[in-house]
């Protein structure tokens, strides 16, 4: 990569402060001082960045650095206003692509919607499209587990380039508010952006300082999209629409929308109708949870914009299931539902769906809240459980640097506004086993928050965990015997 092109792109984005005149070429880009090759352009990023990292990078082959600070070192310098923005645009220069990009955002439903559209696209194309999901990515050359909902900009563009090299034409990805806040998608253009919903979440010292900032990050992503698909009944709909002047906007919902949902029925899966003002078509999903009809409809709108046939859409929807999201185990005395629901919006939707689908059963729930982020969830989840659940088992859910008992007691203080039908069992496996062992045929059990995650975050460590699904299946097998 030519030094001059780097300077030109930074000037174009008004990021450049100062630079050295040079005529050099870079063969590699990195922000990790342990990942350096000959003629590397090194980016000094991160709140914990130390000058020693730059010294190591230069020693190992870096010939130029990008930073917001001028370091007195023997290397070329490029000083910028915002190093995260600079990393994003330079990464795209190093790793270009020509993909059709679909981005999905919202407080809940991103992953399920992503898998719906991914399966529809695979059905239509005859090969796997690119995807970035909360716990999985596929580029045609690589696949694996994600630790960030949206990868860091360098990895993101590297993977997009891999998709292009693999002759993949379409890519769908979840776009988190943190991705926008930390400039991971800065400078990117999306052909289609979908907005599902928003509620007060991710407010903490480690995430967003307030709801206004959280919403603003979601909107900034939508401004990077050519076409915006939005759920008509989301909170703050009018505020969001006002910011998107000049954009092509398509709405979906239960009334007064471009795509109208109706006639939802539970029939060994959920069937529903969609009226797109041209005709009315019936679809079916195998996933439980009436809120997943909304996610499926968003995927349908995207697919119709791409002129994908009704049969391809219908088949893609039906074969979609997402591990850890509305998984229903029925090989025991009562239904057990495993879901990632971990905030007010997702939990409320789940409880309301349980009330409709299991009207004659008592709801028993196992959940906790994290220790280091989303502190407001403790109140929201406590009040919802008190309102909807007949009995509650409070337990660990990534307590981090906090004590599980303290988190559970705080949640319990809100449950008490409704009743005292709860108990605290700090060990999550023990809590799940007790909930299932004590169940009757008149119950439905919901295990919330962890889905199929294979870890618990405790004191900064990711400790192995069997997963809620494995534990529940094991306990149910004992009952069946």
pLDDT at 198: 86
Q: What pLDDT score does 196 carry?
A: 95
Tell me how far apart the alpha carbons of residues 344 and 379 are, in angstroms, rounded to a whole number.
Answer: 9
pLDDT tens figures, 379-406: 999 999 999 999 999 999 999 999 999 9
Q: Which residue has the tokens 């563009």?
A: 157
> pLDDT at residue 430 above 70?
yes
Q: Which residue has the higher pLDDT, 373 or 446?
A: 446
- pLDDT above 90 covers a percentage of the chain that reads 79
- Is the pLDDT at 342 greater than 90? The verdict is no
pLDDT of residue 481: 47
**Rounded-to-10 torsion of CA 145, 149, 152, 157:** 80
pLDDT tens, residue by residue, 15-56: 999 999 889 999 999 999 999 999 999 999 988 899 999 999
| pLDDT at position 253 over 80 | yes
Q: What is the mean pLDDT of residues 209-233?
A: 91
The confidence score (pLDDT) of residue 42 equals 97
Walk me through the domains of the chain, giving residue ranges and CATH numbers.
Answer: 3-82 (3.40.1390.10), 100-318 (3.40.1190.10), 327-480 (3.90.190.20)
Q: Name the one residue in this structure whose structure tokens are 């192995």.
A: 464
CA terminus-to-terminus distance, the chain: 65
Quick one: tokens of 465? 């965990």
Residue 166 · residue 127 · CB < 8 Å: no
Q: How far is CA 62 from the centre of its chain?
A: 34
Q: What pLDDT was estimated at residue 288?
A: 85
User: Across the chain, what does the average pLDDT equal?
Assistant: 93
For residue 331, pLDDT beyond 80: no
Average pLDDT rounded to a whole number, residues 273-285:
96
CA distance 238 to 246: 15
Residue 282 and residue 314 in contact, taking contact as beta carbons nearer than 8 Å: no
Query: If you average pLDDT over residues 356-371, what whole number do you get?
Result: 94
292 has pLDDT over 90: yes
- Sheet strands side by side (includes 443-448): 327-329, 336-339, 443-448, 362-367, 391-394, 422-424
Torsion 433-340-137-150 (CA) sign: negative
């Amino acid at each position: 990569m030519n030094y001059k092109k780097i300077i030109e792109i930074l000037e174009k984005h008004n990021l450049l402060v100062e630079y050295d005149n040079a005529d050099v070429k870079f063969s590699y880009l990195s922000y990790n001082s342990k990942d350096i090759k000959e003629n590397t352009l090194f980016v000094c990023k991160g709140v914990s960045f130390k000058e020693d990292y730059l010294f190591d990078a230069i020693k190992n082959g870096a010939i130029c650095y990008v930073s917001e600070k001028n370091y007195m070192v023997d290397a070329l310098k490029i000083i910028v206003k915002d190093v995260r923005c600079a990393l994003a645009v330079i990464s795209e220069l190093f790793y270009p692509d020509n993909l059709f990009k679909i981005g999905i955002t919202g407080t809940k439903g991103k992953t399920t919607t992503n898998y719906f559209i991914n399966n529809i696209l695979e059905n239509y194309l005859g090969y796997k499209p690119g995807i970035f999901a909360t716990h999985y990515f596929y580029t045609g050359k690589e696949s694996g587990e994600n630790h960030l909902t949206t990868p860091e900009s360098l990895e993101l563009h590297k993977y997009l380039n891999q998709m292009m090299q693999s002759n993949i034409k379409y890519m769908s990805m979840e776009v988190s508010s943190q991705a926008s806040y930390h400039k991971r998608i800065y400078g990117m253009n999306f052909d289609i952006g979908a907005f599902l919903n928003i509620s007060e979440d991710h407010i903490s010292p480690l995430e967003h300082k307030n709801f206004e900032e959280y919403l603003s990050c979601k909107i900034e992503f939508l401004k990077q999209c050519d076409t915006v698909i939005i759920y008509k009944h989301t909170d703050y709909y009018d505020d969001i629409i006002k910011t998107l002047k000049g954009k092509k906007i398509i709405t979906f919902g239960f009334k007064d929308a471009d795509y109208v949902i109706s006639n939802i029925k539970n029939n060994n899966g959920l069937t529903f109708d969609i009226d797109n003002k041209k005709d009315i078509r019936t679809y079916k999903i195998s996933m439980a949870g009436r809120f997943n009809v909304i996610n499926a409809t968003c995927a349908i709108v995207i697919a119709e914009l791409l002129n994908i046939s009704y049969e391809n859409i219908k088949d893609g929807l039906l074969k979609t299931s997402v591990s850890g999201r509305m998984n229903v185990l029925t090989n025991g005395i009562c239904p057990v539902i495993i879901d990632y629901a971990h905030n007010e919006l997702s939990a409320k939707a789940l409880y309301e769906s349980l009330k409709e689908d299991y009207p004659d059963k008592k709801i028993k729930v196992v959940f906790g809240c994290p220790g280091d982020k989303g502190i407001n969830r403790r109140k929201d989840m406590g009040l919802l459980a008190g309102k909807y659940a007949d009995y509650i088992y409070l337990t660990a859910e990534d307590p981090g640097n906090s004590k599980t008992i303290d988190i559970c007691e705080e949640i319990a203080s809100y449950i008490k506004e409704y009743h005292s039908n709860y108990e605290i069992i700090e060990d999550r496996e023990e809590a799940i086993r007790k909930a299932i062992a004590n169940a009757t045929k008149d119950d439905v059990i919901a295990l919330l928050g962890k889905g199929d995650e294979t870890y618990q975050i405790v004191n900064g460590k990711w400790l192995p965990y069997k997963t809620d699904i494995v534990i529940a299946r094991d306990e149910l097998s004992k009952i069946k015997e």
